[in-house]
Amino acid sequence: MPPPDVAPLVGHVALRARLAAAAERGSLPASLLLHGPAGVGKQRLALWLAQLLLCTKRMHGAPEPAGPCGACQGCQFASSLVHPDLHWVFPMPRAKDPDAAPADVRRDYAEAIAERVRGGLLYAAPDGADAIYRNTVRALVRDSGVTPAMGSRKVVVVGEAHRMVPQEGSDEAANAFLKLLEEPPADTTIILTSSTPGRLLPTIRSRVVAMRVARLPEDAVAAWVRDPGVRTALDAAGVVSGDDERVRAAAGAPGALLAAAHSRAALASARALLDAATTSQSALRFVAALRQSSLGARGTFADTLGALTTLLHSRLRNAVDGQDARIAGAACRAIAWVEEAKARTDSNANPQLLTYGLLRHLGTAFGGDS
């Protein structure tokens, strides 16, 4: 069982039974990919599977038929996410030292995981610029080669694996991770999760067994939103009130509710940029540019650009429906400029300078002063 302040795992009953049965038979693949829509609980499911594999009772030959026993030391440590043989990584801000030692990487992740546990494992998606960087990949490869500390095996969970950057400046790191996937140690299970598996490197996709995680049925979502800790978190995030309304808004992906407030902020910022671009007062573009993220908060800027792309696609669809060729062409050019700005954001360009240049382009496209 998870700690009392951690939100419960709900749904995916058939998939959990399938995974538990495979573990019981000893036929669980060494490298798995859990993929499906964002917010359906893929990482939570991966952590449940990790607990199952680290269950001390199971290791001693008496597994529970439906999953981990929840009472043994292995289960208690795994559910609290302090088990030394459970390694969970996910997108994080780029470290100041790209060659940070594995011990430093582990410390940073321990702090981030502890924060997630304090929040009941209720967290929104990472910022747009967060990723799984080279130093994290190195630490994973190193940890996978170490003898288990408590039991007979280790479990590695890589959340949002499509945001992994194993090749960043180091073929050695990329090749080491791919080799790990292809031939993991006999005592190691690797579980990747992704909402956009098409963004994974083909060499990674070819080395894992993919399992789809579907949207949850309404009764499972309803059970989740009624949990007191979940209700408190959703209230704090300003998510639509009322259990029934939240179930409908989740559309089978309750985790998406947690990103609602963040998405609204990004969309509001994107609308402000579009308004500034089309104003006849060019000085307002300077003001809009100066309001953008600093170099230390690129993720927020990246999310704003993503929301801006959404707005422009909507404008493009409306123009096509209305047979307005001028606006349709302007929207296409604007989308291309935003995509270019996204690429430059990834290369450490200054968001404020990028914003001003982008606003000038958008103003030219949509009729504002250049």
Task: Delineate the domains of the chain, giving CATH numbers in brackets.
Answer: 13-214 (3.40.50.300), 261-366 (1.20.120)
pLDDT digits (tens, 9 = 90+) for 245-277: 999 988 999 988 887 666 777 778 888 887 877
Q: What is the pTM of this model?
A: 0.74
Q: Which two tokens stand for residue 115?
A: 């924060």
* pLDDT tens sequence across 12-70: 999 999 999 999 899 999 999 999 998 999 999 999 999 999 998 876 655 455 789 88
- The predicted-structure confidence for 304-333, as pLDDT tens digits, reads as follows 887 888 888 888 888 888 888 888 888 888
Tokens of 203: 């060499």
Residue 187: how many other CB atoms lie within 10 Å: 16
Q: What secondary structure does DSSP assign to 170-219, as a single string?
A: -HHHHHHHHHHHHS--TTEEEEEEES-GGGS-HHHHTTSEEEE-PPPPHH
What gap in Å lies between CA 88 and CA 193, rounded to an integer? Answer: 11
